[in-house]
Structure 1
Amino acid sequence: MRDPEKTIGNMMDKQSVVYVGSIDREGFPNLKAMYAPRKREGIKVFYFTTNTSSLRVKQFMENPKACVYLCDKRFFRGIMLRGTMEILEDSQSKEMIWQEGDTMYYKEGVTDPDYCVLKFTASSVRYYSNFNSESFVLE
């Protein structure tokens, strides 16, 4: 991949859904489709919204190892980012990615105790395209 920042960034920006992986208590991987990140910092840090009461949040609290997978079905390309997930409940983080209409999920608004932010920090990437895969570490 010539320009990972551009390729991954463009693919991420075009997604409406990505797949987020966590590890359960028995050590098995769990995948969940989630809305694409609300915000990203390059290709290393991504912010998602979710319910504080969700199973995924409980799993990340016990084991922060995570992955995010996205694919471009049209060209059969895929990207898996591996890293760690943090649960952010501070008002600044919650306000940073809050959008109009979120009250559909969080009735009490941005201060709803069942609303939190997942901050994913990638450490490595696996990219598949044109029958080839390549892996690299993010600095």
Structure 2
Amino acid sequence: DMPGYGYAKVSKKERNSWQRLLKDYLRGRVNLKRSFVLIDGRHGIKDSDKEMMDLLDEAAAPYTVVLTKTDKVKREDLEKVIAEVEAIIKKHPAAYPFVLKTSSAKGFGIEELRTAIYSEAMIL
């Protein structure tokens, strides 16, 4: 979780300051193996998500998109959101070419997410 990402009740100047700080943090972080961009499955990728993905691309920081709250979306709507997200991440060089789908309420996809995190941390 990062300040200013998604919703934050702050001025545009403050948000821009946070983004510069984040960009500086990401650049040259050789120990940063992978980030996870959490996207609300009910809404799909929003402009703030695209901005974060662009920032990660610029910093050459690999990331995986994780759809959350997938239990709250009808199956056919979820399939549409997944297709849209997959089409978008194909255009982002730092994005892993797949989407993880999760529901913390139902426990769906949590084990796959943990595995992805552990594998980068070399815990497995």
TM-score w.r.t. length of structure 2 = 0.28
Structure 1 or 2: larger helix share? 2
TM-score, length of structure 1 as denominator length: 0.26
